[in-house]
Structure 1
Amino acid sequence: MSNNSMTPAAATRNELVARLLSDRHSLPLSVVLHLLPGALIVAAYLLIGQPFIRAIHYPTLLGWAIALCLVLIPILLGLLWLGRRVEGRPSLAALRYIDRPLPRGKLVALVVPLIVWMTVLSVVTGPVNRFFLHHFFGWVPFTSGAGSFTGFMDGYSHSTMVVTMLICLPLTGLSLPLIEELYFRGFLLPRLAHLGGWAPVVSAILFSLYHFWTPWVFVSRVLFMFPGFWLAWRHRDIRVSIGMHVGVTSTMAAFGALAVVLNLV
């Protein structure tokens, strides 16, 4: 079909695809693409996740896992669809920084300290997060149990908590952070290259803002995530930020699940 015979809907779709696949996203477009998923996750929690967990009497952690799945899985499918527009088949061809330029040894040497950095800093900044939570975000309607690992478990049976942690482990610990990295660092960050050295800074700030469900962690999240983002940008290898992000979330989720199973918390 020629361009002249395209329907308005098809022409609009092609224009949108061209803008998304371009090598450069304008800053306003990038802001929207970073923050819209966060707004959708909060909406999915309030409209679907929260009513569901209240109906079955399960903790908020499961409700957020459901909300994240409802938004991030379609984003992954969208990336595969964009890849199909590039290669003619579903793929990750729309992503950048996936050519694996770093040798495995150097990659490990970068990722291991990043995991330590992110883990330690996320623990050390806990009091700062609680300060922001109690002084600035007490009005947020979904802060119940926030600020501590055990807070969201109050009032639930041990078996309920075990089921929750075992369901969330492969989701919030592994697959969902991986999708985040593919989207935010593999798709969006490379298209901010025109910002030069500010690209990973903007990526860290917008990624932290995207977490509308935990705004009190904004400052610490920028601090402990930025080094991994900068190194992924510097070396053009998304495995750096994937290793840091998924490495930390999977480790913490595994230890959390083990602690609940063994009734240590």
Structure 2
Amino acid sequence: MENTQTPTDTTRVAQPSRLVELLIADRHSVPLSIALHLVPGALIVAVYMLFAEPLVKAIGYPSFLAWAIALIVVLVPVQFGLLWLGSRRNGRFSLRGVVEYLDKPIPRGKITAIIAGLIVWMTVVALALTPLDNLVFDTFFTWIPFEGAGGSATTYLDGYSHSVLLITMLVCLPLTGFTLPLIEELYFRGFLLPRISHLGWGAPVLNTVLFSVYHFWAPWTVLSKVIFMFPAVWLVWRKQDIRVSIGMHPGAALLMATVGTIALILGLVP
């Protein structure tokens, strides 16, 4: 039978395969890794400014909800992208071979103790460094145009009625409190970190710094994020167990979001 496939058709078929091979290779070049770390953050800001903020303002809700929407719009496709890469590698939707550090080498009792300690560390240090965030914001970032920008995360919620705040917190709780941080950990620690492990100790340093910078919507928190995130990132890299950062990051986020929501329900905050 005559082969009717043109050279152009062959090129079209081959290009996705080369892209997949580049993304799931054992090593990423530093420029590629920088791009893969930072592009999602730039997209989140773009979605916020072009779509989420105007929508949320139109319905009279705080910008915190707009950021949640922007994160969903970008991070959910990132998660499906990881699954798609898994399907190209494994023949079925799976994170195996795409997300690394899944083999659970740390014993259950030890990992529980590590996660508990890191949640305390992240929560206490994040709160303790709020004055530093405020100082950096007041010194360098007062020009940031985002509504509610400031050293404290609660500034994104200021000035709204109790009922609006309660609805916002209840809607965002399962998202910003757990699901979105979980996707971030699978992507940044499970997908990107192992592919720069050839950098040695520079891998967790670079991953922590780039993850902190990725939060383009809050650049005044970069230094504090580096400080409270690095121990978990280092342990994930050192022990090759992603449960460390999954337990700490979504765990601490869920704890703080739950406490804040309960306080709001009970009228303990204005």
Partner of 1:119: 123
Q: 2:258 matched to 1:254?
A: yes
Partner of 1:101: 105
Partner of 2:76: 73
1:30-81 deviations in whole A, cap 9, x for unaligned?
Answer: 0000000000000010011101111100001100000000000000000000
1:62, 1:263 → 2: CA distance? Answer: 21
Kept in 2, the 8 Å contact 1:119–1:248? The answer is yes
- What percent of counterpart residues are identical? 55
Runs of 4+ in structure 1 over 3 Å off: 1-7
Partner of 2:62: 59
Q: From 43, 49, 53, give the equivalent of 1:50.
A: 53
Q: CA deviation at 1:145?
A: 5.0
Partner of 2:248: 244
Kept in 2, the 8 Å contact 1:145–1:153? The answer is no
1:39, 1:170 → 2: CA distance? Answer: 23
Partner of 1:23: 26
User: What aligned pairs does 1:79-158 form with structure 2 within 5 A after superposition?
Assistant: 79-93=82-96, 94-158=98-162
Q: CA deviation at 1:109?
A: 1.6
SS at match of 1:7: helix
Kept in 2, the 8 Å contact 1:38–1:211? The answer is yes
Q: CA deviation at 1:144?
A: 1.9
* Structure 2 unmatched ranges of 5 or more: none
Kept in 1, the 8 Å contact 2:64–2:157? The answer is no
Kept in 2, the 8 Å contact 1:72–1:180? The answer is yes
| Count of residues in correspondence between the two structures | 265
Give the TM-score normalised by structure 2. 0.94
Q: From 156, 160, 163, give the equivalent of 1:159.
A: 163
Q: CA deviation at 1:9?
A: 2.6
Amino acid at match of 2:235: L
2:8, 2:60 → 1: CA distance? Answer: 54
Q: CA deviation at 1:152?
A: 2.8
Q: CA deviation at 1:163?
A: 0.4
Amino acid at match of 2:143: W
1:117-166 deviations in whole A, cap 9, x for unaligned?
Answer: 11111011100000111110111111525323543333311111000000
Amino acid at match of 1:221: K
Q: CA deviation at 1:3?
A: 11
Amino acid at match of 2:28: H
Q: CA deviation at 1:256?
A: 0.9
2:154, 2:63 → 1: CA distance? Answer: 12
1:3-49 deviations in whole A, cap 9, x for unaligned?
Answer: 97853232221111100010000000000000000000000100111
Kept in 2, the 8 Å contact 1:101–1:235? The answer is yes
2:197, 2:61 → 1: CA distance? Answer: 43
SS at match of 1:85: helix
Give the TM-score normalised by structure 1. 0.96
1:87-144 deviations in whole A, cap 9, x for unaligned?
Answer: 1111102111011111110101211111111111101110000011111011111152
Amino acid at match of 1:236: Q
Amino acid at match of 2:212: S
Partner of 2:17: 14
Partner of 2:189: 185
* Structure 1 unmatched ranges of 5 or more: none
Kept in 1, the 8 Å contact 2:141–2:220? The answer is yes
Amino acid at match of 2:258: A
Larger deviation, residues 167-176 vs 149-158: 149-158
Kept in 1, the 8 Å contact 2:147–2:156? The answer is no
1:58, 1:15 → 2: CA distance? Answer: 44
